[in-house]
Amino acid sequence: MAEVLRVVDKLEDLVKAFVVRGIVFCGEQGISYTLERDGLDASALHVLAEVDGEPAAAGRIRFAGGFAKLERIAVRKPYRGRRLGRRLTEFMVSEAREKGFTKCKLHAQVQLEKFYEAHGFRREGTPFLEAGIKHCLMVREDRG
């Protein structure tokens, strides 16, 4: 199994990332296209994971206010349970650190709270609804 994680730097890979997000968020979770495509993609750094040439996972990072916000993290169903989500999350944190950001935030679906805790994130505040799904704010701060 050949697995490649990379920062998106060409249109073809951006389309692949959008396909992954559409399958997971719109297809599986029932999120509307207009919510999933929020207009913030142009200002984000996108990441893509492929397995044997097939788009398997994606995410984006936006940088603002001294922190990196990890967003739209999605792993297609056939690729779950292979630790791909773990590698994708660590890759995204690493990309943020390379850009000088030691603080990362994300809105985790509550059922994934333990998953992100295993990556050094901690929950802040109380759960909230986002796109009709219960989420919680999680923060990770690394020493510079």
User: Which residue range(s) make up the domain with 102?
Assistant: 3-141
Strand order from edge to edge, sheet including 133-141: 3-7, 45-51, 54-64, 67-75, 103-109, 133-141, 122-130
**Is the pLDDT confidence value at 144 over 70?**
no
What is the residue-averaged pLDDT of the chain?
95
Please state the rounded mean pLDDT for residues 69-87: 96
Residue 105: half-sphere exposure toward Cβ, Cα within 13 Å: 14
Number of domains in the chain: 1
Q: Which CATH number belongs to the domain containing residue 50 in this structure?
A: 3.40.630.30
- pLDDT tier for residue 13 given thresholds of 50, 70 and 90: very high
